[in-house]
Amino acid sequence: MPVNLIDIQRKLNDFSAQARARKEKIAIRQQEVTNLIEAYADRLDELRERAGRAAELVPRLRCALPTEEPLNLAVRCPALPETFTVLAADGSQINPSRHARVAFCVINVAVVKMVRGSGQAPKIFTHSQLLDFDAVFLPNGGMISEGMVALKRDLREREALLELADDLVYPAVSMTDGPLELYREPQEVAGFNQTLDRYLEVLSVTHQRNLMTLGYVDKPGSDLIGRLLELAQLDEDELSAFNQRRRRFVGVNDVHLLSTILQNPGDRSAVFGIQSEIARRFGGDLALHFFYLNVGLPGRPHLVRVEIPGWVARDKALLGTLQGVLVEGAAMMGTRPYPYLLHRAHEEAIVSLQESEHVEEMIVAAFNQRGIPIDEKSYKQYHKDLPTQKTRYQG
Protein backbone atom coordinates (compact mmCIF):
# COMPACT_ATOMS: atom_id res chain seq x y z
CA MET A 1 0.00 0.00 0.00
CA PRO A 2 1.28 3.48 -0.70
CA VAL A 3 1.68 6.14 2.00
CA ASN A 4 -1.66 7.63 2.92
CA LEU A 5 -0.95 11.19 1.79
CA ILE A 6 -4.25 12.45 3.20
CA ASP A 7 -3.10 11.48 6.72
CA ILE A 8 0.19 13.28 6.11
CA GLN A 9 -1.59 16.34 4.74
CA ARG A 10 -3.80 16.61 7.85
CA LYS A 11 -0.70 16.68 10.05
CA LEU A 12 1.19 19.34 8.11
CA ASN A 13 -0.31 22.39 9.88
CA ASP A 14 0.73 21.17 13.32
CA PHE A 15 4.04 19.94 12.04
CA SER A 16 4.90 23.30 10.48
CA ALA A 17 3.79 25.21 13.57
CA GLN A 18 6.06 23.08 15.76
CA ALA A 19 8.98 23.64 13.40
CA ARG A 20 8.43 27.41 13.42
CA ALA A 21 8.20 27.55 17.25
CA ARG A 22 11.36 25.48 17.64
CA LYS A 23 13.31 27.58 15.17
CA GLU A 24 12.20 30.79 16.93
CA LYS A 25 13.35 29.48 20.31
CA ILE A 26 16.68 28.42 18.87
CA ALA A 27 17.15 31.79 17.16
CA ILE A 28 16.90 33.54 20.56
CA ARG A 29 19.45 31.14 22.09
CA GLN A 30 21.62 31.54 19.05
CA GLN A 31 21.80 35.29 19.48
CA GLU A 32 22.79 34.77 23.11
CA VAL A 33 25.64 32.45 22.21
CA THR A 34 26.76 34.71 19.36
CA ASN A 35 27.11 37.53 21.89
CA LEU A 36 29.11 35.21 24.13
CA ILE A 37 31.59 34.44 21.35
CA GLU A 38 32.41 38.12 21.14
CA ALA A 39 32.48 38.50 24.93
CA TYR A 40 34.84 35.55 25.42
CA ALA A 41 36.81 35.97 22.19
CA ASP A 42 40.12 36.61 24.00
CA ARG A 43 39.35 35.18 27.45
CA LEU A 44 40.94 31.88 26.47
CA ASP A 45 42.65 31.05 29.79
CA GLU A 46 39.36 31.53 31.60
CA LEU A 47 37.57 29.23 29.18
CA ARG A 48 40.31 26.60 29.42
CA GLU A 49 40.14 26.66 33.20
CA ARG A 50 36.33 26.31 33.14
CA ALA A 51 36.43 23.43 30.67
CA GLY A 52 39.14 21.72 32.71
CA ARG A 53 37.08 22.01 35.89
CA ALA A 54 33.95 20.81 34.09
CA ALA A 55 35.83 17.78 32.78
CA GLU A 56 36.60 16.82 36.40
CA LEU A 57 32.97 17.18 37.47
CA VAL A 58 30.89 16.10 34.48
CA PRO A 59 31.15 12.51 33.34
CA ARG A 60 31.68 12.04 29.59
CA LEU A 61 31.84 15.80 29.02
CA ARG A 62 31.89 16.80 25.38
CA CYS A 63 32.84 20.34 24.32
CA ALA A 64 35.38 22.44 22.42
CA LEU A 65 38.66 23.48 24.00
CA PRO A 66 40.20 26.82 23.04
CA THR A 67 43.76 26.86 21.70
CA GLU A 68 45.75 30.07 21.27
CA GLU A 69 43.47 31.61 18.65
CA PRO A 70 40.66 34.05 19.55
CA LEU A 71 37.18 32.55 19.26
CA ASN A 72 36.03 35.03 16.64
CA LEU A 73 39.07 34.59 14.39
CA ALA A 74 38.66 34.30 10.61
CA VAL A 75 41.75 33.30 8.64
CA ARG A 76 41.72 33.98 4.89
CA CYS A 77 42.62 31.13 2.57
CA PRO A 78 46.33 31.23 1.66
CA ALA A 79 47.74 30.49 -1.80
CA LEU A 80 48.53 26.91 -2.68
CA PRO A 81 51.91 25.51 -3.68
CA GLU A 82 52.32 24.69 -7.38
CA THR A 83 52.43 20.96 -6.80
CA PHE A 84 51.07 18.84 -3.98
CA THR A 85 49.47 15.45 -3.41
CA VAL A 86 45.93 14.82 -2.29
CA LEU A 87 44.75 11.38 -1.22
CA ALA A 88 41.14 10.63 -0.39
CA ALA A 89 39.74 7.37 0.94
CA ASP A 90 36.21 6.17 1.36
CA GLY A 91 34.73 2.82 2.18
CA SER A 92 31.53 0.89 2.07
CA GLN A 93 30.57 -2.47 3.45
CA ILE A 94 28.30 -5.47 3.14
CA ASN A 95 27.02 -6.04 6.65
CA PRO A 96 26.42 -9.61 7.79
CA SER A 97 22.78 -10.55 7.98
CA ARG A 98 21.15 -13.45 9.77
CA HIS A 99 18.49 -13.42 7.04
CA ALA A 100 21.02 -14.27 4.31
CA ARG A 101 21.99 -17.79 3.24
CA VAL A 102 25.48 -17.32 4.62
CA ALA A 103 26.89 -14.83 7.12
CA PHE A 104 29.68 -12.77 5.63
CA CYS A 105 31.04 -9.27 5.75
CA VAL A 106 32.97 -7.34 3.11
CA ILE A 107 34.74 -4.03 3.55
CA ASN A 108 35.52 -2.23 0.34
CA VAL A 109 37.84 0.76 0.45
CA ALA A 110 38.93 2.98 -2.43
CA VAL A 111 41.72 5.53 -2.42
CA VAL A 112 42.09 8.16 -5.12
CA LYS A 113 45.49 9.82 -5.37
CA MET A 114 45.94 13.04 -7.30
CA VAL A 115 49.13 15.02 -7.81
CA ARG A 116 47.98 18.57 -8.48
CA GLY A 117 50.14 20.40 -10.93
CA SER A 118 51.20 17.15 -12.62
CA GLY A 119 48.55 17.26 -15.36
CA GLN A 120 48.16 13.49 -14.86
CA ALA A 121 44.95 11.59 -14.25
CA PRO A 122 44.52 10.53 -10.61
CA LYS A 123 45.34 6.94 -9.69
CA ILE A 124 42.68 4.74 -8.15
CA PHE A 125 43.28 1.89 -5.72
CA THR A 126 40.56 -0.43 -4.47
CA HIS A 127 40.92 -2.91 -1.61
CA SER A 128 38.16 -5.45 -0.98
CA GLN A 129 38.41 -7.45 2.22
CA LEU A 130 36.25 -10.46 3.03
CA LEU A 131 36.36 -10.59 6.82
CA ASP A 132 37.38 -13.92 8.36
CA PHE A 133 34.36 -16.12 8.96
CA ASP A 134 35.26 -16.23 12.66
CA ALA A 135 35.42 -12.42 12.79
CA VAL A 136 31.76 -12.18 11.79
CA PHE A 137 30.71 -13.72 15.10
CA LEU A 138 31.09 -12.35 18.62
CA PRO A 139 32.26 -14.47 21.58
CA ASN A 140 28.66 -14.49 22.87
CA GLY A 141 27.52 -16.15 19.63
CA GLY A 142 25.86 -13.06 18.17
CA MET A 143 26.85 -11.37 14.96
CA ILE A 144 29.16 -8.40 14.64
CA SER A 145 27.11 -5.19 14.66
CA GLU A 146 26.85 -2.64 11.85
CA GLY A 147 28.58 -0.14 14.13
CA MET A 148 31.56 -2.43 14.61
CA VAL A 149 31.80 -3.04 10.87
CA ALA A 150 31.75 0.73 10.33
CA LEU A 151 34.58 1.05 12.83
CA LYS A 152 36.64 -1.56 10.99
CA ARG A 153 35.91 0.28 7.73
CA ASP A 154 37.15 3.56 9.23
CA LEU A 155 40.35 1.80 10.23
CA ARG A 156 40.75 0.24 6.76
CA GLU A 157 40.37 3.67 5.17
CA ARG A 158 43.26 5.02 7.26
CA GLU A 159 45.37 1.92 6.60
CA ALA A 160 44.74 2.21 2.86
CA LEU A 161 45.87 5.84 2.91
CA LEU A 162 49.02 4.91 4.79
CA GLU A 163 49.82 2.16 2.27
CA LEU A 164 50.11 4.88 -0.38
CA ALA A 165 52.25 7.20 1.70
CA ASP A 166 55.50 6.35 -0.15
CA ASP A 167 56.95 8.48 -2.95
CA LEU A 168 54.66 11.43 -2.35
CA VAL A 169 55.01 14.86 -3.87
CA TYR A 170 55.00 17.08 -0.77
CA PRO A 171 53.09 18.77 0.74
CA ALA A 172 50.67 15.88 0.93
CA VAL A 173 47.19 15.78 2.42
CA SER A 174 45.05 12.72 3.05
CA MET A 175 41.37 12.83 3.92
CA THR A 176 38.34 10.77 4.72
CA ASP A 177 34.69 11.70 5.02
CA GLY A 178 33.47 12.00 8.61
CA PRO A 179 35.20 12.80 11.88
CA LEU A 180 38.73 11.75 12.75
CA GLU A 181 37.37 10.82 16.15
CA LEU A 182 35.87 7.34 16.24
CA TYR A 183 32.38 6.60 17.47
CA ARG A 184 31.87 3.77 19.92
CA GLU A 185 28.71 1.81 20.50
CA PRO A 186 28.34 1.47 24.28
CA GLN A 187 28.18 -2.34 24.27
CA GLU A 188 31.34 -2.95 22.29
CA VAL A 189 34.12 -1.78 24.56
CA ALA A 190 36.64 -4.59 23.97
CA GLY A 191 36.43 -4.63 20.15
CA PHE A 192 36.46 -0.86 20.08
CA ASN A 193 39.60 -0.53 22.18
CA GLN A 194 41.48 -2.98 20.00
CA THR A 195 40.46 -1.13 16.83
CA LEU A 196 41.24 2.26 18.36
CA ASP A 197 44.76 1.13 19.35
CA ARG A 198 45.47 0.11 15.75
CA TYR A 199 43.84 3.30 14.44
CA LEU A 200 46.11 5.44 16.62
CA GLU A 201 49.13 3.44 15.50
CA VAL A 202 48.23 4.10 11.85
CA LEU A 203 47.73 7.82 12.51
CA SER A 204 51.08 7.91 14.25
CA VAL A 205 52.91 6.32 11.29
CA THR A 206 51.03 8.68 8.95
CA HIS A 207 52.51 11.54 10.97
CA GLN A 208 56.01 10.03 10.69
CA ARG A 209 55.57 9.99 6.89
CA ASN A 210 54.62 13.67 7.07
CA LEU A 211 51.31 12.94 5.39
CA MET A 212 48.75 15.40 6.72
CA THR A 213 45.44 13.84 7.56
CA LEU A 214 41.95 15.16 8.19
CA GLY A 215 38.32 14.17 8.62
CA TYR A 216 35.81 16.23 6.63
CA VAL A 217 32.33 16.72 8.06
CA ASP A 218 29.81 18.23 5.66
CA LYS A 219 26.67 19.87 7.11
CA PRO A 220 27.90 19.40 10.68
CA GLY A 221 25.30 19.47 13.41
CA SER A 222 27.87 19.76 16.19
CA ASP A 223 27.58 22.32 18.97
CA LEU A 224 30.98 21.98 20.62
CA ILE A 225 31.67 25.73 20.81
CA GLY A 226 28.19 26.43 22.17
CA ARG A 227 28.77 23.80 24.86
CA LEU A 228 32.04 25.46 25.88
CA LEU A 229 30.39 28.87 26.18
CA GLU A 230 27.53 27.41 28.18
CA LEU A 231 30.02 25.99 30.69
CA ALA A 232 31.61 29.43 31.00
CA GLN A 233 28.28 30.78 32.26
CA LEU A 234 27.96 28.28 35.11
CA ASP A 235 29.16 28.77 38.67
CA GLU A 236 30.69 25.91 40.68
CA ASP A 237 27.34 24.64 42.02
CA GLU A 238 25.69 24.77 38.64
CA LEU A 239 28.70 22.99 37.15
CA SER A 240 28.38 20.14 39.67
CA ALA A 241 24.72 19.73 38.77
CA PHE A 242 25.30 20.18 35.03
CA ASN A 243 23.47 17.69 32.88
CA GLN A 244 24.56 17.46 29.25
CA ARG A 245 21.12 16.26 28.26
CA ARG A 246 19.38 19.37 29.59
CA ARG A 247 21.43 22.21 28.28
CA ARG A 248 20.47 25.85 28.07
CA PHE A 249 21.74 26.34 24.52
CA VAL A 250 20.42 23.12 23.09
CA GLY A 251 19.73 23.27 19.34
CA VAL A 252 22.26 26.03 18.65
CA ASN A 253 24.86 24.57 16.37
CA ASP A 254 28.32 25.92 15.69
CA VAL A 255 27.69 26.56 11.98
CA HIS A 256 25.03 29.14 12.86
CA LEU A 257 27.35 30.79 15.36
CA LEU A 258 30.22 31.14 12.94
CA SER A 259 28.41 31.95 9.73
CA THR A 260 28.65 35.69 10.40
CA ILE A 261 32.34 35.43 11.27
CA LEU A 262 33.43 33.26 8.32
CA GLN A 263 31.92 35.44 5.60
CA ASN A 264 34.50 35.12 2.85
CA PRO A 265 34.79 31.95 0.79
CA GLY A 266 37.84 30.07 2.05
CA ASP A 267 37.82 31.56 5.58
CA ARG A 268 38.64 29.22 8.42
CA SER A 269 37.74 29.63 12.07
CA ALA A 270 40.01 29.39 15.08
CA VAL A 271 41.31 25.92 15.78
CA PHE A 272 39.82 24.20 18.83
CA GLY A 273 40.66 21.06 20.75
CA ILE A 274 38.03 18.44 21.55
CA GLN A 275 37.12 17.40 25.08
CA SER A 276 35.51 13.96 25.03
CA GLU A 277 35.97 10.55 26.55
CA ILE A 278 37.39 9.12 23.33
CA ALA A 279 39.38 12.24 22.41
CA ARG A 280 41.45 11.68 25.56
CA ARG A 281 42.97 8.63 23.90
CA PHE A 282 44.30 10.82 21.07
CA GLY A 283 47.13 12.42 23.03
CA GLY A 284 50.17 14.51 22.08
CA ASP A 285 50.78 14.83 18.35
CA LEU A 286 47.52 13.05 17.60
CA ALA A 287 45.36 15.16 19.96
CA LEU A 288 42.07 15.85 18.18
CA HIS A 289 41.47 19.37 16.94
CA PHE A 290 38.93 20.93 14.63
CA PHE A 291 38.08 24.11 12.81
CA TYR A 292 35.24 25.31 10.64
CA LEU A 293 35.82 26.25 7.04
CA ASN A 294 33.68 28.22 4.63
CA VAL A 295 33.91 26.30 1.35
CA GLY A 296 30.93 28.20 -0.11
CA LEU A 297 30.59 30.77 -2.84
CA PRO A 298 30.37 34.56 -2.50
CA GLY A 299 27.01 35.30 -0.85
CA ARG A 300 26.37 31.58 -0.31
CA PRO A 301 28.50 30.47 2.67
CA HIS A 302 28.76 26.75 3.35
CA LEU A 303 30.51 25.82 6.57
CA VAL A 304 32.05 22.42 7.17
CA ARG A 305 33.94 21.02 10.14
CA VAL A 306 37.46 19.71 9.63
CA GLU A 307 39.10 17.46 12.21
CA ILE A 308 42.88 17.30 12.32
CA PRO A 309 45.57 15.86 14.60
CA GLY A 310 47.60 18.05 16.93
CA TRP A 311 50.78 18.01 14.81
CA VAL A 312 48.91 19.65 11.95
CA ALA A 313 46.98 22.03 14.23
CA ARG A 314 50.20 23.39 15.74
CA ASP A 315 51.92 24.17 12.44
CA LYS A 316 50.36 27.24 10.79
CA ALA A 317 52.07 26.55 7.44
CA LEU A 318 50.67 23.01 7.27
CA LEU A 319 47.28 24.27 8.41
CA GLY A 320 47.29 26.87 5.62
CA THR A 321 48.13 24.27 2.99
CA LEU A 322 45.41 21.97 4.25
CA GLN A 323 42.92 24.85 4.22
CA GLY A 324 43.86 25.75 0.64
CA VAL A 325 43.68 22.13 -0.53
CA LEU A 326 40.17 21.72 0.89
CA VAL A 327 38.90 25.00 -0.51
CA GLU A 328 40.29 24.23 -3.96
CA GLY A 329 39.02 20.64 -3.91
CA ALA A 330 35.52 21.72 -2.87
CA ALA A 331 35.42 24.50 -5.47
CA MET A 332 35.97 21.88 -8.19
CA MET A 333 32.39 20.76 -7.56
CA GLY A 334 30.96 24.15 -8.50
CA THR A 335 27.67 25.19 -6.94
CA ARG A 336 27.60 22.37 -4.39
CA PRO A 337 31.10 22.45 -2.95
CA TYR A 338 32.47 19.18 -1.58
CA PRO A 339 36.01 17.83 -2.03
CA TYR A 340 36.14 16.32 -5.51
CA LEU A 341 38.45 13.50 -4.52
CA LEU A 342 36.28 12.47 -1.58
CA HIS A 343 33.36 12.15 -3.94
CA ARG A 344 35.47 10.15 -6.39
CA ALA A 345 36.64 7.84 -3.61
CA HIS A 346 32.99 7.33 -2.66
CA GLU A 347 32.09 6.54 -6.27
CA GLU A 348 34.86 3.96 -6.48
CA ALA A 349 34.16 2.36 -3.09
CA ILE A 350 30.42 1.95 -3.19
CA VAL A 351 29.16 -1.65 -3.26
CA SER A 352 26.00 -2.10 -5.28
CA LEU A 353 23.25 -4.54 -4.38
CA GLN A 354 24.12 -6.51 -7.50
CA GLU A 355 27.77 -6.81 -6.41
CA SER A 356 26.70 -7.86 -2.94
CA GLU A 357 24.54 -10.63 -4.43
CA HIS A 358 27.44 -11.67 -6.64
CA VAL A 359 29.78 -12.01 -3.65
CA GLU A 360 27.16 -14.08 -1.84
CA GLU A 361 26.86 -16.36 -4.89
CA MET A 362 30.66 -16.81 -4.92
CA ILE A 363 30.67 -17.80 -1.24
CA VAL A 364 27.74 -20.18 -1.70
CA ALA A 365 29.50 -21.81 -4.67
CA ALA A 366 32.71 -22.19 -2.63
CA PHE A 367 30.75 -23.80 0.24
CA ASN A 368 28.97 -26.13 -2.19
CA GLN A 369 32.27 -27.26 -3.68
CA ARG A 370 33.57 -28.09 -0.22
CA GLY A 371 30.37 -29.77 0.99
CA ILE A 372 29.67 -27.11 3.62
CA PRO A 373 25.94 -26.94 4.37
CA ILE A 374 24.26 -23.68 3.46
CA ASP A 375 21.30 -22.20 5.28
CA GLU A 376 18.14 -21.09 3.61
CA LYS A 377 17.50 -17.41 3.20
CA SER A 378 14.96 -16.32 5.85
CA TYR A 379 11.43 -16.46 4.55
CA LYS A 380 11.03 -12.82 5.52
CA GLN A 381 13.96 -11.92 3.26
CA TYR A 382 12.71 -14.24 0.54
CA HIS A 383 9.37 -12.44 0.42
CA LYS A 384 11.04 -9.03 0.54
CA ASP A 385 13.16 -10.01 -2.45
CA LEU A 386 10.18 -11.03 -4.57
CA PRO A 387 9.79 -8.86 -7.66
CA THR A 388 7.27 -6.12 -6.95
CA GLN A 389 6.25 -5.67 -10.58
CA LYS A 390 3.42 -7.83 -11.83
CA THR A 391 4.18 -10.20 -14.68
CA ARG A 392 2.29 -9.27 -17.81
CA TYR A 393 0.30 -11.89 -19.67
CA GLN A 394 2.02 -12.33 -23.03
CA GLY A 395 -0.22 -14.93 -24.62
3-state secondary structure the chain: CCCCHHHHHHHHHHHHHHHHHHHHHHHHHHHHHHHHHHHCCCCHHHHHHHHHHHHHHCCCCCEEEECCCCCCCCECCCCCCCCEEEEEEEEEEECCCCCCCCCCCEEEEEEEEEEECCCCCCEEEEEEEECCCHHHECCCCCECCHHHHHHHHHHHHHHHHHHCCCCCCCCEEEEEECCCCCCCCCCCHHHHHHHHHHHHHHHHHHHHCCCEEEEEECCCCCCHHHHHHHHHCCCHHHHHCCCCCCCCCCCCCHHHHHCCCCCCCCCECCCEEEECCCHHHCCHHHCEEEEEEECCECCECCEEEEEEEHHHHCCHHHHHHHHHHHHHHHHCCCCCCCCHHHHHHHHHHCCCHHHHHHHHHHHHHHHHHCCCCCCCCCHHHHHHCCCCCCCCCCC
- Whole-number minimum distance, CB 327 to other proteins, in Å? 13
> Which of residues 6, 121, 317, 386 is near other proteins by CB under 8 A?
121
> Which of residues 18, 31, 118, 187 is near other proteins by CB under 8 A?
118
203 is an interface residue for other proteins by CB under 8 A: no
- Whole-number minimum distance, CB 341 to other proteins, in Å? 9
Tell me, by CB under 8 A, how many residues bind other proteins. 20
Window of 119-127, 224-232, 301-309, 380-388 that interacts with other proteins by CB under 8 A:
119-127
344 is an interface residue for other proteins by CB under 8 A: yes
Window of 40-48, 54-62, 91-99, 342-350 that interacts with other proteins by CB under 8 A:
342-350
> Which of residues 122, 220, 296, 310 is near other proteins by CB under 8 A?
122
The smaller minimum CB distance to other proteins, of residues 184 and 343, is found at 343
119 is an interface residue for other proteins by CB under 8 A: yes
The CA distance from 332 to 83, in Å, is 17
88 is an interface residue for other proteins by CB under 8 A: no
Window of 2-10, 112-120, 165-173, 362-370 that interacts with other proteins by CB under 8 A:
112-120
> Which of residues 29, 50, 116, 152 is near other proteins by CB under 8 A?
116
340 is an interface residue for other proteins by CB under 8 A: yes
- Whole-number minimum distance, CB 335 to other proteins, in Å? 4
The smaller minimum CB distance to other proteins, of residues 267 and 348, is found at 348
The smaller minimum CB distance to other proteins, of residues 119 and 139, is found at 119
> Which of residues 33, 47, 106, 114 is near other proteins by CB under 8 A?
114
299 is an interface residue for other proteins by CB under 8 A: no
300 is an interface residue for other proteins by CB under 8 A: no
- Would you tell me which residues interact with other proteins (CB under 8 A)? 112, 114-116, 118-122, 124, 331-336, 340, 343-344, 347
